[in-house]
Amino acid sequence: MKHYSRREKEKAFEVIVSQYEAQLLRYVSRMIFNFDLAEDVVQETFLKLFKNWKDELAPSPQILSWLYRVAHNKAIDMIRKENRRINHQNNKAEWDKIDLEILHKEKSGISENALAAAEILNSLTPDEKQLVILKVYEKKTYKEISEITNLTTGNVGFKLHHIMKKMAKRLNKGEK
Partner 1 sequence: MAKLSQKQSIIKCSDIEPHLFDFLQHELGSAQTTIITEHLKKCEDCKKSLAELQSSLKALEDFGVAQPPKHLTDNRRKRIKFAYMHPFLNFCYIHHKIISIIIVIITLATVLFLIKNASLDKKRNFKEYPVQLNLR
Q: Choose among 100, 64, 106: nearest CA to 82.
A: 100
**Contact status, residue 21 vs residue 13, Cβ threshold 8 Å:** no
Find the binder of partner 1 among 83, 152, 168, 176 (CB under 8 A). 168
CB-CB neighbours of 19 under 10 Å: 14
Residue 11 or residue 69: which is nearer to partner 1 going by CB?
A: 11
Which residues in the 50-79 window bind partner 1 by CB under 8 A? 50-51
Stretch that binds partner 1, among 42-50, 69-77, 78-86, 92-100 (CB under 8 A): 42-50
Closest separation in Å from C-beta 29 to partner 1: 4
The reply to whether 33 sits near partner 1 by the rule CB under 8 A is yes
The reply to whether 35 sits near partner 1 by the rule CB under 8 A is yes
Angle at 24 between CA 65 and CA 14, to 5 degrees: 90
Closest separation in Å from C-beta 49 to partner 1: 9
Gap between the Cα atoms of 140 and 157, Å rounded: 12
Gap between the Cα atoms of 171 and 176, Å rounded: 7
Find the binder of partner 1 among 78, 102, 134, 148 (CB under 8 A). 102
Q: Which residues of the chain form contacts with partner 1 (CB under 8 A)?
A: 6, 9-10, 13, 17, 21-22, 25-26, 29-30, 33, 35, 38-39, 42-43, 46-47, 50-51, 102, 105-106, 110-111, 113-118, 121, 132, 135-137, 141-142, 157-158, 160-161, 164-165, 167-169, 171-172
